[in-house]
Amino acid sequence: MEVNATAELLRELGNRVRAARIARNDTMEVFAQRLGVSLGTVRALERGLPSVQIGVWLNALWILDSLEPMRRVLEPRESVLDRARALDKPLRQRASKRSR
């Protein structure tokens, strides 16, 4: 089962990849060669099909100089208050092994 929001986002990203490829004046064939995938995979990528492997997506973003924003995906978020609390907590230490 596919979530509608996911399908919509994939189509939007596929359209953006297509627009970026065209802006670079790359044909689908040249882009497929640079990615190391088939022409059908590039078509699927640009249509936003969920069957395209995430590695292909990331390689396409790298080729289009758009990979950097992906580094922030699922980045841990910590507030200033969380940082202050962490400084106040004593470091946890393991108990020493008991001798028998």
Query: Does some domain include residue 29?
Result: yes
Query: Does some domain include residue 94?
Result: no
Pair of tokens at residue 5:
């929001």
Write the single-letter amino acid at 91: L
- Check if the beta carbon of residue 12 is closer than 8 Å to that of residue 5: no
Q: With a cut of 90, say whether residue 13 has pLDDT above it.
A: yes
Q: Which residues contact 88 (CB under 8 A, 6 or more apart)?
A: none
Query: Does some domain include residue 17?
Result: yes
Q: pLDDT tens, 20-59?
A: 999 999 999 999 999 999 999 999 999 999 999 999 999 9
**Domain of residue 24, residue span:** 4-68
Query: Does some domain include residue 62?
Result: yes
Record the pTM. 0.71
Query: Does some domain include residue 35?
Result: yes
Write the single-letter amino acid at 32: A
Query: Does some domain include residue 42?
Result: yes
C-alpha span between 75 and 57 (Å, rounded): 19
Q: With a cut of 90, say whether residue 92 has pLDDT above it.
A: no
Task: Specify the CATH number for the domain of residue 14.
Answer: 1.10.260.40
Split into its structural domains, the chain has a count of: 1
